[in-house]
Amino acid sequence: MNSQRQSSSYRSRILQPASERQPKSHPLTWRLRDDGQVVDLQDYEAKEGYVALRQVLEAGDPQAVIATMKEANVRGRGGAGFSAGLKWSLTMQGPDMPRGYIVCNADEMEPGTFKDRLLMEQQPHLLIEGMVLAAFANNARYGYIFLRGEYVESARVLAQALDEARQAGWLGSDIAGSGFDFDIALHTGAGRYICGEETALLNSLEGNRANPRAKPPFPGQSGAWGKPTVVNNVETLCNVPAVMLRGADWYQGLSGGRTEDGGTKLYGASGLVNRPGLWELPIGTTGREILDLAGGLRDGRQLKAWLPGGASTGFLLPDHLDLPLDFDTVGQEGSRLGTGLITVVTEEQSMVSLMRNLEEFFARESCGWCTPCRDGLPWAVRLLRALEQGEGQPGDIELLDKLAADCGPGLTFCAHAPGAAMPLQTALQHFRHEFEQGVQRPKGEAHADPIPVGEV
Protein backbone atom coordinates (compact mmCIF):
# COMPACT_ATOMS: atom_id res chain seq x y z
CA MET A 1 0.00 0.00 0.00
CA ASN A 2 2.76 2.39 0.95
CA SER A 3 4.58 2.16 -2.32
CA GLN A 4 1.31 2.75 -4.16
CA ARG A 5 0.72 5.88 -2.15
CA GLN A 6 4.18 7.18 -2.92
CA SER A 7 3.96 6.37 -6.59
CA SER A 8 0.78 8.36 -7.06
CA SER A 9 1.85 11.45 -5.09
CA TYR A 10 2.25 14.23 -7.63
CA ARG A 11 5.59 15.99 -7.93
CA SER A 12 6.33 18.88 -10.25
CA ARG A 13 9.37 18.14 -12.42
CA ILE A 14 11.29 19.14 -15.51
CA LEU A 15 12.09 16.31 -17.89
CA GLN A 16 15.48 17.60 -19.05
CA PRO A 17 18.38 16.39 -16.88
CA ALA A 18 20.62 19.06 -15.32
CA SER A 19 23.43 18.14 -17.73
CA GLU A 20 21.28 19.44 -20.60
CA ARG A 21 20.40 22.70 -18.88
CA GLN A 22 23.10 25.37 -19.12
CA PRO A 23 23.21 28.95 -17.80
CA LYS A 24 23.51 30.53 -21.23
CA SER A 25 20.82 28.45 -22.91
CA HIS A 26 18.37 27.66 -20.08
CA PRO A 27 18.04 30.82 -17.99
CA LEU A 28 14.86 29.63 -16.26
CA THR A 29 15.84 26.13 -15.25
CA TRP A 30 19.64 25.60 -15.27
CA ARG A 31 19.79 25.82 -11.49
CA LEU A 32 17.11 23.18 -10.90
CA ARG A 33 18.40 20.06 -9.24
CA ASP A 34 17.95 16.57 -10.63
CA ASP A 35 16.67 15.42 -7.23
CA GLY A 36 13.85 17.97 -7.39
CA GLN A 37 14.82 19.54 -4.06
CA VAL A 38 14.44 23.28 -3.55
CA VAL A 39 17.26 25.51 -4.74
CA ASP A 40 17.67 27.32 -1.41
CA LEU A 41 19.38 30.65 -0.82
CA GLN A 42 22.86 29.16 -0.45
CA ASP A 43 22.48 27.05 -3.58
CA TYR A 44 20.98 29.97 -5.51
CA GLU A 45 23.75 32.39 -4.50
CA ALA A 46 26.33 29.81 -5.56
CA LYS A 47 24.69 29.75 -9.00
CA GLU A 48 24.84 33.45 -9.93
CA GLY A 49 21.90 34.20 -7.62
CA TYR A 50 21.22 37.87 -6.85
CA VAL A 51 24.27 38.89 -8.94
CA ALA A 52 22.03 40.73 -11.41
CA LEU A 53 20.23 42.49 -8.59
CA ARG A 54 23.48 43.64 -6.98
CA GLN A 55 24.76 44.98 -10.31
CA VAL A 56 21.52 46.79 -11.10
CA LEU A 57 21.31 48.36 -7.66
CA GLU A 58 24.95 49.48 -7.89
CA ALA A 59 24.32 51.04 -11.30
CA GLY A 60 21.29 52.76 -9.79
CA ASP A 61 19.44 53.48 -13.04
CA PRO A 62 15.83 52.22 -13.09
CA GLN A 63 15.19 53.60 -16.56
CA ALA A 64 18.09 51.54 -17.91
CA VAL A 65 16.40 48.40 -16.56
CA ILE A 66 13.19 49.27 -18.40
CA ALA A 67 15.13 50.07 -21.57
CA THR A 68 16.89 46.69 -21.47
CA MET A 69 13.59 44.89 -20.90
CA LYS A 70 12.05 46.69 -23.87
CA GLU A 71 15.02 45.93 -26.07
CA ALA A 72 14.98 42.26 -25.04
CA ASN A 73 11.25 42.24 -25.83
CA VAL A 74 10.35 39.84 -23.03
CA ARG A 75 6.73 39.04 -23.83
CA GLY A 76 4.30 38.21 -21.03
CA ARG A 77 4.46 34.51 -20.26
CA GLY A 78 1.03 34.41 -18.60
CA GLY A 79 -0.49 34.05 -22.06
CA ALA A 80 -1.16 37.53 -23.39
CA GLY A 81 2.34 38.06 -24.78
CA PHE A 82 2.42 41.79 -24.05
CA SER A 83 5.92 43.26 -23.85
CA ALA A 84 6.90 43.45 -20.18
CA GLY A 85 9.31 46.31 -20.88
CA LEU A 86 6.58 48.30 -22.60
CA LYS A 87 4.23 47.62 -19.70
CA TRP A 88 6.88 48.86 -17.28
CA SER A 89 7.52 51.98 -19.34
CA LEU A 90 3.84 52.90 -18.90
CA THR A 91 3.93 52.70 -15.09
CA MET A 92 3.25 56.13 -13.65
CA GLN A 93 6.38 57.38 -11.91
CA GLY A 94 7.52 60.77 -10.77
CA PRO A 95 8.01 63.04 -7.80
CA ASP A 96 4.28 63.57 -7.46
CA MET A 97 3.36 59.90 -7.76
CA PRO A 98 3.16 57.57 -4.76
CA ARG A 99 5.33 54.47 -4.91
CA GLY A 100 3.18 51.56 -6.00
CA TYR A 101 3.16 47.80 -6.15
CA ILE A 102 4.61 44.83 -7.99
CA VAL A 103 2.13 41.97 -8.08
CA CYS A 104 3.23 38.57 -9.26
CA ASN A 105 0.39 36.72 -10.93
CA ALA A 106 0.89 33.22 -9.54
CA ASP A 107 -2.74 32.24 -9.98
CA GLU A 108 -1.86 29.48 -12.44
CA MET A 109 -5.27 27.98 -13.27
CA GLU A 110 -5.35 27.82 -17.05
CA PRO A 111 -6.41 24.23 -17.77
CA GLY A 112 -3.44 22.37 -19.23
CA THR A 113 -0.86 24.60 -17.51
CA PHE A 114 1.62 23.46 -14.87
CA LYS A 115 4.75 25.57 -15.40
CA ASP A 116 4.74 28.29 -12.73
CA ARG A 117 4.29 25.61 -10.09
CA LEU A 118 7.71 24.18 -11.00
CA LEU A 119 9.45 27.56 -10.79
CA MET A 120 7.90 28.35 -7.41
CA GLU A 121 8.27 24.95 -5.80
CA GLN A 122 11.89 24.39 -6.75
CA GLN A 123 13.47 27.78 -7.41
CA PRO A 124 11.72 30.50 -5.39
CA HIS A 125 14.65 32.92 -5.26
CA LEU A 126 14.70 33.45 -9.02
CA LEU A 127 11.15 34.81 -8.75
CA ILE A 128 12.03 36.94 -5.72
CA GLU A 129 15.08 38.41 -7.50
CA GLY A 130 12.93 39.13 -10.56
CA MET A 131 10.36 40.88 -8.39
CA VAL A 132 12.96 43.07 -6.64
CA LEU A 133 14.38 44.05 -10.04
CA ALA A 134 10.88 44.85 -11.29
CA ALA A 135 10.23 46.87 -8.14
CA PHE A 136 13.43 48.86 -8.61
CA ALA A 137 12.56 49.62 -12.25
CA ASN A 138 8.98 50.60 -11.43
CA ASN A 139 9.66 52.36 -8.12
CA ALA A 140 7.39 49.97 -6.24
CA ARG A 141 7.54 49.96 -2.46
CA TYR A 142 5.84 46.64 -1.84
CA GLY A 143 5.17 43.41 -3.67
CA TYR A 144 2.58 40.67 -3.45
CA ILE A 145 2.77 37.16 -4.79
CA PHE A 146 -0.86 36.34 -5.60
CA LEU A 147 -0.77 32.57 -5.31
CA ARG A 148 -3.70 30.26 -5.97
CA GLY A 149 -4.89 28.58 -2.80
CA GLU A 150 -4.38 25.02 -4.04
CA TYR A 151 -0.61 25.54 -4.49
CA VAL A 152 0.13 24.57 -0.90
CA GLU A 153 3.67 23.38 -1.60
CA SER A 154 4.49 26.58 -3.50
CA ALA A 155 3.23 28.59 -0.53
CA ARG A 156 5.44 26.66 1.88
CA VAL A 157 8.55 27.02 -0.28
CA LEU A 158 7.95 30.69 -1.07
CA ALA A 159 7.33 31.62 2.57
CA GLN A 160 10.62 30.05 3.55
CA ALA A 161 12.48 31.71 0.67
CA LEU A 162 11.03 35.12 1.55
CA ASP A 163 12.37 34.69 5.10
CA GLU A 164 15.78 33.68 3.75
CA ALA A 165 15.89 36.66 1.39
CA ARG A 166 14.86 39.04 4.15
CA GLN A 167 17.54 37.71 6.50
CA ALA A 168 20.17 37.99 3.77
CA GLY A 169 19.19 41.58 3.06
CA TRP A 170 17.74 40.97 -0.41
CA LEU A 171 14.39 42.23 0.88
CA GLY A 172 13.61 44.93 3.40
CA SER A 173 15.16 48.34 3.87
CA ASP A 174 18.35 49.50 2.17
CA ILE A 175 18.71 46.39 0.02
CA ALA A 176 22.39 45.55 -0.53
CA GLY A 177 23.35 48.99 0.76
CA SER A 178 21.61 50.72 -2.14
CA GLY A 179 19.12 52.75 -0.16
CA PHE A 180 16.29 50.95 -1.99
CA ASP A 181 13.48 49.59 0.21
CA PHE A 182 11.16 46.83 -0.89
CA ASP A 183 9.45 43.84 0.67
CA ILE A 184 7.13 41.08 -0.51
CA ALA A 185 4.12 39.41 1.10
CA LEU A 186 2.57 36.15 0.03
CA HIS A 187 -1.17 36.39 -0.66
CA THR A 188 -2.97 33.11 -1.17
CA GLY A 189 -6.34 32.86 -2.87
CA ALA A 190 -9.36 30.61 -2.41
CA GLY A 191 -10.21 29.40 -5.88
CA ARG A 192 -11.83 30.98 -8.96
CA TYR A 193 -10.04 31.02 -12.33
CA ILE A 194 -11.06 34.63 -12.98
CA CYS A 195 -8.52 35.76 -10.36
CA GLY A 196 -5.86 35.30 -13.04
CA GLU A 197 -7.29 38.22 -15.02
CA GLU A 198 -5.06 41.06 -13.87
CA THR A 199 -7.73 43.53 -12.79
CA ALA A 200 -9.89 40.83 -11.18
CA LEU A 201 -6.72 39.78 -9.40
CA LEU A 202 -6.36 43.29 -7.99
CA ASN A 203 -9.94 43.26 -6.72
CA SER A 204 -9.29 39.89 -5.13
CA LEU A 205 -6.04 41.16 -3.60
CA GLU A 206 -7.98 44.02 -2.04
CA GLY A 207 -10.34 41.49 -0.46
CA ASN A 208 -13.28 41.84 -2.82
CA ARG A 209 -15.10 39.57 -5.24
CA ALA A 210 -12.89 38.94 -8.24
CA ASN A 211 -14.82 40.96 -10.81
CA PRO A 212 -12.61 42.55 -13.46
CA ARG A 213 -12.19 46.32 -13.58
CA ALA A 214 -12.71 48.60 -16.55
CA LYS A 215 -9.56 49.53 -18.45
CA PRO A 216 -8.47 52.33 -18.66
CA PRO A 217 -7.20 53.21 -16.18
CA PHE A 218 -4.62 50.47 -16.56
CA PRO A 219 -3.02 49.04 -13.42
CA GLY A 220 0.19 50.94 -14.22
CA GLN A 221 -1.80 54.14 -13.78
CA SER A 222 -4.17 53.09 -11.01
CA GLY A 223 -3.92 49.55 -9.68
CA ALA A 224 -3.93 48.19 -6.15
CA TRP A 225 -5.50 50.79 -3.84
CA GLY A 226 -5.31 53.31 -6.66
CA LYS A 227 -1.50 53.19 -6.79
CA PRO A 228 0.59 52.43 -9.89
CA THR A 229 0.79 48.65 -10.03
CA VAL A 230 2.64 46.24 -12.27
CA VAL A 231 1.16 42.76 -12.65
CA ASN A 232 3.46 40.17 -14.22
CA ASN A 233 3.31 36.39 -14.51
CA VAL A 234 5.76 34.17 -12.59
CA GLU A 235 7.66 33.00 -15.69
CA THR A 236 7.91 36.56 -17.01
CA LEU A 237 9.47 37.79 -13.75
CA CYS A 238 11.80 34.79 -13.67
CA ASN A 239 13.29 35.95 -17.00
CA VAL A 240 14.31 39.34 -15.62
CA PRO A 241 17.52 38.44 -13.69
CA ALA A 242 19.15 36.74 -16.70
CA VAL A 243 18.14 39.56 -19.04
CA MET A 244 19.85 42.02 -16.68
CA LEU A 245 22.93 39.83 -16.30
CA ARG A 246 23.51 38.89 -19.94
CA GLY A 247 21.75 41.63 -21.86
CA ALA A 248 19.05 42.08 -24.45
CA ASP A 249 21.08 40.78 -27.40
CA TRP A 250 21.83 37.50 -25.67
CA TYR A 251 18.14 37.10 -24.77
CA GLN A 252 17.07 37.81 -28.33
CA GLY A 253 19.58 35.27 -29.61
CA LEU A 254 18.17 32.46 -27.47
CA SER A 255 15.47 31.71 -30.03
CA GLY A 256 18.23 30.93 -32.53
CA GLY A 257 16.54 32.55 -35.50
CA ARG A 258 13.43 30.41 -35.19
CA THR A 259 11.28 33.47 -34.65
CA GLU A 260 11.45 37.19 -33.98
CA ASP A 261 10.56 36.57 -30.33
CA GLY A 262 13.45 36.16 -27.94
CA GLY A 263 14.22 33.98 -24.98
CA THR A 264 13.22 30.53 -23.96
CA LYS A 265 9.82 29.22 -22.95
CA LEU A 266 8.63 26.58 -20.56
CA TYR A 267 6.79 24.34 -22.99
CA GLY A 268 4.86 21.27 -21.98
CA ALA A 269 2.55 18.53 -23.12
CA SER A 270 -0.37 16.74 -21.50
CA GLY A 271 -3.13 14.42 -22.61
CA LEU A 272 -2.57 10.91 -23.92
CA VAL A 273 1.16 11.25 -24.66
CA ASN A 274 3.82 8.80 -23.50
CA ARG A 275 5.88 11.29 -21.47
CA PRO A 276 3.74 14.22 -20.38
CA GLY A 277 5.93 16.95 -18.94
CA LEU A 278 7.78 20.24 -19.08
CA TRP A 279 10.86 21.41 -20.97
CA GLU A 280 12.67 24.72 -21.25
CA LEU A 281 13.17 25.25 -25.00
CA PRO A 282 13.96 28.14 -27.32
CA ILE A 283 10.84 30.13 -28.07
CA GLY A 284 9.68 29.17 -31.53
CA THR A 285 10.09 25.44 -30.92
CA THR A 286 7.48 23.54 -32.93
CA GLY A 287 4.62 21.40 -31.70
CA ARG A 288 6.21 18.40 -33.43
CA GLU A 289 9.45 18.83 -31.48
CA ILE A 290 7.50 19.02 -28.24
CA LEU A 291 5.43 15.94 -29.06
CA ASP A 292 8.65 14.09 -29.92
CA LEU A 293 10.07 15.01 -26.52
CA ALA A 294 6.80 13.75 -25.04
CA GLY A 295 7.44 10.40 -26.70
CA GLY A 296 4.52 10.67 -29.09
CA LEU A 297 0.97 9.54 -28.47
CA ARG A 298 0.11 6.58 -26.28
CA ASP A 299 -0.56 3.17 -27.77
CA GLY A 300 -0.25 4.26 -31.38
CA ARG A 301 -3.09 6.76 -31.15
CA GLN A 302 -3.44 9.39 -33.86
CA LEU A 303 -3.42 13.13 -33.24
CA LYS A 304 -6.69 14.86 -34.07
CA ALA A 305 -6.18 18.34 -32.65
CA TRP A 306 -4.22 20.25 -30.03
CA LEU A 307 -4.55 23.31 -27.86
CA PRO A 308 -1.24 25.21 -27.98
CA GLY A 309 -1.49 26.93 -24.61
CA GLY A 310 -4.45 26.13 -22.44
CA ALA A 311 -8.23 25.96 -22.51
CA SER A 312 -8.66 29.53 -23.74
CA THR A 313 -6.64 29.02 -26.92
CA GLY A 314 -7.97 27.85 -30.27
CA PHE A 315 -7.65 24.30 -31.57
CA LEU A 316 -4.84 23.63 -34.02
CA LEU A 317 -4.58 20.64 -36.35
CA PRO A 318 -1.82 18.12 -37.15
CA ASP A 319 -1.04 20.39 -40.14
CA HIS A 320 0.09 23.06 -37.70
CA LEU A 321 2.73 20.93 -35.98
CA ASP A 322 5.66 22.46 -37.84
CA LEU A 323 4.86 26.07 -37.04
CA PRO A 324 7.16 27.88 -34.61
CA LEU A 325 5.22 28.29 -31.38
CA ASP A 326 5.60 32.01 -30.77
CA PHE A 327 2.97 34.62 -30.01
CA ASP A 328 2.60 36.10 -33.51
CA THR A 329 2.74 32.89 -35.57
CA VAL A 330 0.14 31.09 -33.47
CA GLY A 331 -1.99 34.25 -33.46
CA GLN A 332 -1.99 34.30 -37.26
CA GLU A 333 -3.42 30.77 -37.30
CA GLY A 334 -6.54 31.81 -35.42
CA SER A 335 -5.31 30.65 -32.05
CA ARG A 336 -3.04 32.02 -29.33
CA LEU A 337 0.23 30.77 -27.87
CA GLY A 338 -1.31 31.22 -24.44
CA THR A 339 0.79 29.53 -21.80
CA GLY A 340 2.66 27.34 -24.31
CA LEU A 341 1.67 24.05 -22.69
CA ILE A 342 0.10 21.77 -25.28
CA THR A 343 -3.01 19.69 -24.66
CA VAL A 344 -3.30 16.78 -27.05
CA VAL A 345 -6.60 15.43 -28.41
CA THR A 346 -6.50 12.02 -30.05
CA GLU A 347 -8.53 10.82 -33.03
CA GLU A 348 -11.13 8.84 -31.05
CA GLN A 349 -11.77 11.56 -28.46
CA SER A 350 -15.00 13.43 -29.17
CA MET A 351 -14.67 17.14 -29.83
CA VAL A 352 -18.29 17.62 -28.74
CA SER A 353 -17.62 16.05 -25.34
CA LEU A 354 -14.37 17.97 -24.93
CA MET A 355 -16.11 21.23 -25.85
CA ARG A 356 -18.87 20.45 -23.37
CA ASN A 357 -16.20 19.95 -20.71
CA LEU A 358 -14.39 23.17 -21.66
CA GLU A 359 -17.55 25.28 -21.67
CA GLU A 360 -18.69 23.77 -18.36
CA PHE A 361 -15.39 25.03 -17.00
CA PHE A 362 -15.77 28.54 -18.44
CA ALA A 363 -19.42 28.78 -17.40
CA ARG A 364 -18.63 27.71 -13.84
CA GLU A 365 -15.67 30.06 -13.57
CA SER A 366 -17.44 33.13 -15.02
CA CYS A 367 -17.60 35.85 -12.39
CA GLY A 368 -21.12 36.71 -13.56
CA TRP A 369 -20.39 40.39 -14.09
CA CYS A 370 -21.45 40.80 -17.72
CA THR A 371 -24.30 39.25 -19.66
CA PRO A 372 -22.75 37.45 -22.65
CA CYS A 373 -20.49 35.53 -20.32
CA ARG A 374 -22.88 34.93 -17.42
CA ASP A 375 -25.84 33.87 -19.56
CA GLY A 376 -24.20 32.89 -22.84
CA LEU A 377 -21.78 30.29 -21.51
CA PRO A 378 -24.37 28.21 -19.59
CA TRP A 379 -26.54 28.35 -22.71
CA ALA A 380 -23.64 26.98 -24.76
CA VAL A 381 -23.23 24.22 -22.17
CA ARG A 382 -26.90 23.22 -22.50
CA LEU A 383 -26.61 23.05 -26.30
CA LEU A 384 -23.38 21.06 -26.14
CA ARG A 385 -24.84 18.60 -23.63
CA ALA A 386 -27.76 18.03 -25.96
CA LEU A 387 -25.49 17.54 -28.97
CA GLU A 388 -23.33 15.16 -26.97
CA GLN A 389 -26.40 13.05 -26.21
CA GLY A 390 -27.53 13.11 -29.82
CA GLU A 391 -30.50 15.26 -28.83
CA GLY A 392 -29.52 18.50 -30.56
CA GLN A 393 -32.14 20.46 -32.48
CA PRO A 394 -31.75 21.94 -35.95
CA GLY A 395 -30.31 25.41 -35.50
CA ASP A 396 -28.31 24.51 -32.37
CA ILE A 397 -24.97 24.67 -34.15
CA GLU A 398 -25.79 28.04 -35.69
CA LEU A 399 -26.81 29.21 -32.22
CA LEU A 400 -23.44 28.07 -30.88
CA ASP A 401 -21.80 30.08 -33.67
CA LYS A 402 -23.73 33.12 -32.57
CA LEU A 403 -23.09 32.64 -28.86
CA ALA A 404 -19.37 32.33 -29.56
CA ALA A 405 -19.43 35.43 -31.74
CA ASP A 406 -21.28 37.38 -29.06
CA CYS A 407 -18.61 36.44 -26.54
CA GLY A 408 -15.80 37.69 -28.79
CA PRO A 409 -13.14 40.26 -28.03
CA GLY A 410 -14.48 43.72 -27.24
CA LEU A 411 -18.02 42.54 -26.51
CA THR A 412 -17.46 41.56 -22.90
CA PHE A 413 -15.91 43.18 -19.87
CA CYS A 414 -12.75 41.06 -19.81
CA ALA A 415 -10.98 38.28 -21.71
CA HIS A 416 -12.79 35.40 -19.97
CA ALA A 417 -15.63 35.04 -22.49
CA PRO A 418 -13.39 35.56 -25.54
CA GLY A 419 -11.22 32.82 -24.05
CA ALA A 420 -14.27 30.56 -23.90
CA ALA A 421 -15.26 31.50 -27.46
CA MET A 422 -11.93 30.75 -29.14
CA PRO A 423 -11.81 26.96 -28.63
CA LEU A 424 -15.54 26.75 -29.46
CA GLN A 425 -15.20 28.70 -32.70
CA THR A 426 -12.17 26.73 -33.84
CA ALA A 427 -13.79 23.41 -32.89
CA LEU A 428 -16.91 24.34 -34.88
CA GLN A 429 -14.72 25.42 -37.77
CA HIS A 430 -12.48 22.35 -37.95
CA PHE A 431 -14.79 19.62 -36.64
CA ARG A 432 -18.28 20.77 -37.59
CA HIS A 433 -19.25 17.30 -38.76
CA GLU A 434 -18.88 15.97 -35.21
CA PHE A 435 -21.32 18.55 -33.93
CA GLU A 436 -23.72 17.87 -36.81
CA GLN A 437 -23.81 14.22 -35.80
CA GLY A 438 -25.36 15.29 -32.52
CA VAL A 439 -28.41 16.81 -34.19
CA GLN A 440 -31.69 14.95 -34.62
CA ARG A 441 -30.70 11.48 -33.63
CA PRO A 442 -33.62 9.12 -33.36
CA LYS A 443 -34.71 8.98 -29.73
CA GLY A 444 -33.16 6.16 -27.75
CA GLU A 445 -30.22 5.60 -30.06
CA ALA A 446 -27.24 5.64 -27.77
CA HIS A 447 -24.27 7.82 -28.54
CA ALA A 448 -21.04 5.84 -28.72
CA ASP A 449 -18.94 6.29 -25.59
CA PRO A 450 -17.48 9.63 -26.58
CA ILE A 451 -14.32 9.71 -24.53
CA PRO A 452 -12.37 6.58 -23.70
CA VAL A 453 -12.30 6.40 -19.95
CA GLY A 454 -8.54 6.37 -19.79
CA GLU A 455 -6.33 4.24 -17.65
CA VAL A 456 -8.31 4.19 -14.42
Distance CA 169, CA 41 (A): 12
Would you say 424 and 359 are in contact if contact means Cβ atoms under 8 Å apart? yes
Which region, judged by CB under 8 A, interacts with other proteins, from 31-39, 248-256, 344-352, 424-432?
344-352
Site string for other proteins, 116-145 (x = CB under 8 A): xx----------------------------
User: What's the closest the beta carbon of residue 429 comes to other proteins, in angstroms?
Assistant: 18
Site string for other proteins, 171-200 (x = CB under 8 A): --------------x-xxxxxxx-------
Which region, judged by CB under 8 A, interacts with other proteins, from 130-138, 253-261, 354-362, 436-444?
354-362
Residue 311 engages other proteins in binding (rule: CB under 8 A): yes
Q: Looking at beta carbons only, is 165 or 243 nearer to other proteins?
A: 165
Task: Please state, in angstroms and as integers, the Cα–Cα distance from residue 455 to each residue in 54, 300, 345, 347, 452, following that order.
Answer: 51, 15, 16, 17, 9
Q: What is the DSSP string of 187-250?
A: EE--S-GGGGSHHHHHHHHTTS------SSSPTTTS-GGGS-EEEEEHHHHHHHHHHHHH-HHH
Instruction: Tell me the number of residues near other proteins by CB under 8 A.
Output: 71
User: What's the closest the beta carbon of residue 282 comes to other proteins, in angstroms?
Assistant: 21
Which region, judged by CB under 8 A, interacts with other proteins, from 151-159, 253-261, 371-379, 412-420?
151-159
Contacts (CB under 8 A) with other proteins, residues 3-22 = 4-5, 7-10, 12-13
Residue 79 engages other proteins in binding (rule: CB under 8 A): no
- Locate the DSSP E strands across 330-418: 341-346
Residue 235 engages other proteins in binding (rule: CB under 8 A): no
Biggest alpha carbon distance in the chain?
A: 77
Task: Please state, in angstroms and as integers, the Cα–Cα distance from residue 284 to each residue in 22, 337, 354, following that order.
Answer: 19, 10, 27
Would you say 232 and 107 are in contact if contact means Cβ atoms under 8 Å apart? no
Contacts (CB under 8 A) with other proteins, residues 250-269 = 268-269
According to DSSP, the β-strands at 140-147 and 100-106 are parallel
Among 25, 357, 389, 437, binds other proteins (CB under 8 A): 357
Which residues, including other chains, have CB under 8 Å from residue 252's CB and lie 6 or more apart?
Answer: 72, 73, 262, 263
Residue 300 engages other proteins in binding (rule: CB under 8 A): no
The number of beta carbons lying within 10 Å of the beta carbon of residue 24 is 11
Residue 207 engages other proteins in binding (rule: CB under 8 A): yes
Residue 446 engages other proteins in binding (rule: CB under 8 A): no
Q: Looking at beta carbons only, is 188 or 255 nearer to other proteins?
A: 188
User: What's the closest the beta carbon of residue 447 comes to other proteins, in angstroms?
Assistant: 14
Residue 326 engages other proteins in binding (rule: CB under 8 A): no
Distance CA 107, CA 129 (A): 19
Would you say 125 and 41 are in contact if contact means Cβ atoms under 8 Å apart? yes
